[in-house]
């Protein structure tokens, strides 16, 4: 008993001395230029932030408000965070050409699902993969992709029509498979048709990812596999990962068969010619990302292994379909909540389509949907699809007022706070799409990030969301779901509603 007490006292003493030493360093002295609560030894500010992943977001917002709605600091365990809510400072971070590293805790949360993909990788792996992906998202391919959006959009409308003039429908149930089918069709060159298979294992598995990853992010002990593996959550995570990777392997197998058949046909038609250039031209014309990955070579000349391809398409298929689903569904919820906003959306649609309101939109039409675009933006502002992104500093970085963010810190672009900052968005509690008609700092609204590490597919995402929303609102009047259907939003790594987005769809009357 005595020895146990001595051991406990010794451990506590070591931690206290260690923390006192840390607080005497230059790193800490630089950090204290930012407002923040005094961290406890070992825990830091973790007790204030909390351990329930679904209350962390609200607790962080309370801290931000308590510290004057300005940039502030906090410590979680031994890691120091700086939370940025000033657009100018956000610009300094995101525009930096070398501070591109994602924080260790963020990567540890994501890597079990997506491996060393473009989201978590750095250096040559990140640069080469991003360069390989870029042509598939070039603006020249948008017309081609819009054709697929319109075609699959008709299937979505047919599915939703079953609820026309009836009770509420959870949009997540139909929009998620639709967006996944769209990404498979336009980026993978494979037909998935999950919209006709709502019980598909991938849909069941991918629905769990964000809550598991967010829990991983804030629960450091889960990164210690020898501990985590004895919990039931570990097996759930492993089953989820397996289902997603099995699905990606199936996609790779299907596309490889299609690609091999294409190459064989080219060889048959050109028996005395080096067909490599013809194949390359055909792949460029198709602009399928998966083709680029399958045909790519490693620096040593070997083909990219399927394990690496799997990591990339598992990431892109998930993040691509999930973020657009949330944004699209939440935008329809906003239209239901604010009928005047919906009225102005449909008036803009009528001005673009005239008497032919069933016509499929063109890229020119999408460019004219300025008010719809602002409604999407205002929805993202009020219900941030991604509440925060972050970087881990390799070197000191100086902000506009001369304060220094020290090397080793995790710096968070705190979208949720920026979007509620009255100095950036006056009357932030008001849903006002017209606020985006006014001049604002470039970095006040960068939901797809910015700079060297921005979202590579953001232009495509805008095309998919605007075209789909246009088709839905021209077909249906969007109404609130009724009592008990209010979304239960949880601001995790991606904001999602635990009870879906339940809305009623009424036949739109143009008389």
Q: Residues marked as binding?
A: 455
CA 345 to CA 374: how far, in whole Å? 10
Are the C-beta atoms of 327 and 380 separated by less than 8 Å? yes
Smallest CA-to-CA distance from 351 within 370, 373, 374, 377 is with 370
Are the C-beta atoms of 61 and 415 separated by less than 8 Å? no
CA 138 to CA 223: how far, in whole Å? 37
Are the C-beta atoms of 373 and 401 separated by less than 8 Å? no
Binding site as annotated, residues for heme: 455
CA 303 to CA 288: how far, in whole Å? 17
Exposed/middle/buried for residue 449 (C-beta within 10 Å: 0-12, 13-18, 19+): middle
Are the C-beta atoms of 145 and 136 separated by less than 8 Å? no
> β-strand 397-398 against 495-497: which pairing, if any?
unpaired
DSSP type of residue 168: -
β-sheet bridge partners, residue 81: 74, 410
CA 41 to CA 37: how far, in whole Å? 13
CA 16 to CA 12: how far, in whole Å? 6
Token code pair at residue 1: 């008993």
């Amino acid at each position: 008993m005595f020895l146990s007490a001595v051991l406990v006292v010794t451990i506590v003493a070591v931690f206290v001395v260690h923390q006192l030493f840390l607080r005497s360093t230059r790193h800490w002295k630089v950090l204290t230029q930012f407002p923040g609560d005094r961290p406890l030894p070992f825990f830091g500010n973790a007790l204030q932030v909390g351990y329930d992943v679904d209350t962390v977001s609200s607790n962080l917002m309370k801290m931000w408000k308590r510290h004057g709605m300005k940039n502030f600091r906090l410590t979680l365990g031994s890691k120091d965070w700086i939370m940025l809510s000033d657009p100018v400072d956000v610009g300094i971070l995101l525009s930096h050409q070398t501070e591109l590293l994602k924080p260790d805790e963020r990567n540890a949360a994501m890597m079990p699902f997506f491996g060393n993909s473009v989201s978590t990788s750095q250096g040559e792996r990140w640069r080469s993969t991003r360069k390989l992906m870029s042509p598939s998202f070039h603006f020249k391919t948008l017309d081609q992709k819009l054709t697929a959006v319109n075609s699959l959009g008709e299937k979505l409308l047919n599915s939703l029509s079953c609820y026309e003039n009836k009770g509420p429908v959870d949009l997540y149930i139909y929009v998620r498979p639709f967006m996944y089918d769209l990404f498979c069709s336009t980026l993978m060159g494979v037909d998935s048709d999950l919209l006709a298979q709502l019980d598909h294992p991938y849909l069941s598995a991918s629905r769990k990812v964000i809550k598991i990853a967010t829990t991983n992010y804030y629960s450091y002990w889960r990164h210690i596999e020898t501990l985590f593996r004895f919990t039931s959550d570990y097996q759930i995570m492993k089953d989820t990962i397996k289902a997603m990777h099995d699905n990606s392997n199936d996609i790779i197998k299907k596309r490889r068969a299609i690609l091999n058949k294409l190459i064989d046909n080219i060889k048959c038609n050109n028996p005395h010619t080096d067909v490599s250039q013809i194949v390359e031209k055909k792949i460029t014309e198709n602009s399928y990302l998966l083709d680029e990955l399958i045909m790519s070579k490693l620096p040593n000349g070997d083909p990219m292994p399927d394990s690496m391809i799997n990591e990339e398409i598992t990431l892109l298929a998930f993040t691509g379909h999930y973020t657009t689903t949330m944004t699209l569904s939440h935008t329809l919820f906003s239209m239901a909540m604010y009928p005047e906003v919906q009225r102005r959306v449909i008036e803009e649609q009528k001005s673009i389509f005239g008497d032919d309101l069933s016509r499929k939109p063109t890229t020119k039409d999408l460019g004219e949907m300025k008010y719809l675009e602002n409604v999407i933006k205002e929805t993202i502002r009020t219900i941030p699809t991604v509440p925060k992104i972050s970087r881990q500093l390799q070197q000191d970085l100086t902000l506009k007022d001369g304060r220094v963010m020290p090397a080793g810190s995790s710096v968070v672009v705190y979208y949720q706070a920026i979007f509620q900052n009255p100095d950036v968005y006056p009357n932030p509690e008001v849903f006002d799409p017209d606020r985006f008609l006014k001049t604002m700092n470039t970095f006040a609204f960068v939901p797809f990030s910015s700079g060297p590490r921005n979202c590579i597919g953001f232009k495509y995402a805008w095309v998919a969301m605007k075209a789909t929303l246009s088709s839905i609102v021209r077909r249906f009047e969007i109404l609130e779901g009724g009592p008990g259907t209010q979304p239960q939003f949880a601001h995790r790594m991606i904001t999602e509603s635990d009870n879906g987005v339940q809305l009623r769809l009424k036949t739109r009357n143009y008389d």
